[in-house]
């Protein structure tokens, strides 16, 4: 297994349309906050891992630009990309470097400046992230189109409605309204969601995550030095990772993401958790709600509900604080925002701060077992990472 690894510092920029800063400046907002929280200096960092999907922003070598601006030139560095799961994959790369003994302290920063390109260009770039020749070029599938396939299949098989999906948006906007770093801080109603324009039926504007600029950062440290930095580390207990076919026509069905299910089972096995009763072993989860249907499928892929019963959690408000398991108390991708390379790191920041009890009043989860889960999906289930974060040191 190698050495155990923990989060010792976190940072998070304001998410939104950030035309006021460059990519490097945006990254530094979260880097500086993470270093300050860990109370360490630049000299203490052995490696910098930059998560950035890119394409829409001006910098082709974001790791170098971010390092130079942040005073980290000369440090070992690399850029990681795994579509929308880039942030979680960057954390895994950093975790593995420390676990292997190659580094003691690693800075992970996810950053994206998506609004440097016009919306049609961003939509095209994301659409190309499916299977370019068969799906985008020949049939014009966009990402809302992909998730519309999932939504219609789910509605047909399990009797879900558009109103059910809108309830997910209502919940996530509710919690985002209390998150000062969120892109959207206005609460909405089911009626607001239902009245929003269709993007790809039954996906509406308010079912969709926005185009976002933002950054998030975590400082990871080995078990050998954690005690010198903090007395309250958040341990990376387990990481599960999987992938699926590029072409959706080769998938078994459109009722879930098999890569996410496999990644979850891997993580649970490594942590010694019972997949059948996993909700009782978690305090909260941050899941990849790029569209509202994606959150419902995540409930089932993660084992929070049986197949076809995820919609019941929505109808019964079981994913609010006080329910079966609080989900996306940050506002999720839907309302907090989705700066692609930063999303997985943002999830880690949120879970760490929740376990520390350091989030805003009204969206703090009760911490009973001291464990949170991050579910980060790349593409339409092409990549999947499920990461367990814990107040307790992982078993050896």
Q: Per-residue confidence at 87, pLDDT binned at 50, 70, 90?
A: very high
Candidate list 12, 84, 173, 288, residue with the active-site label: 84
What does the pLDDT read at residue 54? 87
In the residue annotation, 338 being an active-site residue is answered as yes
pLDDT at 349 over 90: yes
What does the pLDDT read at residue 57? 84
What's the predicted TM-score (pTM) here? 0.97
Q: Per-residue confidence at 171, pLDDT binned at 50, 70, 90?
A: very high
What does the pLDDT read at residue 178? 98
What does the pLDDT read at residue 385? 98
Residue range 61-89: average pLDDT?
Answer: 97
Residue range 324-344: average pLDDT?
Answer: 98
Q: Per-residue confidence at 56, pLDDT binned at 50, 70, 90?
A: confident
Candidate list 12, 173, 288, 338, residue with the active-site label: 338
In the residue annotation, 375 being an active-site residue is answered as no
Cβ within 8 Å of residue 31, ≥6 positions away: 11, 66, 70, 107, 109, 215, 217
Contact indicator for 121, 76 with CB cutoff of 8 Å: no
Question: Where is pLDDT greater, at 241 or 54?
Answer: 241
pLDDT at 166 over 90: yes
What does the pLDDT read at residue 327? 98
Instruction: Quote the tokens at residue 31.
Output: 């880097």
What does the pLDDT read at residue 248? 79
- Compute the mean pLDDT over every residue in the chain, rounded to the nearest whole number: 95
For the chain, domains (ranges, CATH) are: 5-118+211-229 (3.40.47.10)
Q: Per-residue confidence at 277, pLDDT binned at 50, 70, 90?
A: very high
Residue range 231-251: average pLDDT?
Answer: 92
Residue range 1-22: average pLDDT?
Answer: 96
What does the pLDDT read at residue 141? 76
Q: What is the pLDDT of residues 126-138, one digit of tens each?
A: 877 777 666 766 5
């Amino acid at each position: 297994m190698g050495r155990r690894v923990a989060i010792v510092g976190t940072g998070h920029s304001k998410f939104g349309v950030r035309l006021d800063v460059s990519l490097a400046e945006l990254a530094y907002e979260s880097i500086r906050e993470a270093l300050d929280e860990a109370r360490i200096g630049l000299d203490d960092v052995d490696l910098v891992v930059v998560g950035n999907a890119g394409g829409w922003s001006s910098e082709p070598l974001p790791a170098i630009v971010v390092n130079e601006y942040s005073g980290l030139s000369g440090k070992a560095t690399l850029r990681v990309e795994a579509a929308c799961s880039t942030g979680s994959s960057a954390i895994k790369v950093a975790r593995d470097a420390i676990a292997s003994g190659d580094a003691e302290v690693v800075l992970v920063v996810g950053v994206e400046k998506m609004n440097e390109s016009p919306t049609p260009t961003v939509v095209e770039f994301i659409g190309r992230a499916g299977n370019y020749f068969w799906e985008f070029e020949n049939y014009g599938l966009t990402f809302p189109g992909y998730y519309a396939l999932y939504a219609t299949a789910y509605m047909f098989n399990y009797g879900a409605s558009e109103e059910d999906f809108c309830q997910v948006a209502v919940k996530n906007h509710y919690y985002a309204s209390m998150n000062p770093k969120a892109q959207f801080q206005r609460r909405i109603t089911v009626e607001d969601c239902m009245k929003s324009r269709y993007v790809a039926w039954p996906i509406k504007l308010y079912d969709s995550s926005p185009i976002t600029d933002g950054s998030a950062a975590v400082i990871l440290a080995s078990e050998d030095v954690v005690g010198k930095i903090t007395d309250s580390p958040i341990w990376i207990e387990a990481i599960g990772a999987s992938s699926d076919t590029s072409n959706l026509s080769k998938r078994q069905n459109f009722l879930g993401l098999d890569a996410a299910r496999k990644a979850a089972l891997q993580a649970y096995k490594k942590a010694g958790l019972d997949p059948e009763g996993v909700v009782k072993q978690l305090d909260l989860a941050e899941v990849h709600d790029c569209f509202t249907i994606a959150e419902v499928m995540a409930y089932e892929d993660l084992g929070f509900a049986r197949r076809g019963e995820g919609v019941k959690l929505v109808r019964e408000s079981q994913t609010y604080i006080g329910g079966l398991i609080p989900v996306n108390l940050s506002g999720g991708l839907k309302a907090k925002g989705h700066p692609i390379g930063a999303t997985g790191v943002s999830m880690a920041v949120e879970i760490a701060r929740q376990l520390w009890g350091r989030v805003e009043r009204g969206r703090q989860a009760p911490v009973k077992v001291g464990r949170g889960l991050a579910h980060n999906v790349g593409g339409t289930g092409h990549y999947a990472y499920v990461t367990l974060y814990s107040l307790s040191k992982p078993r050896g």
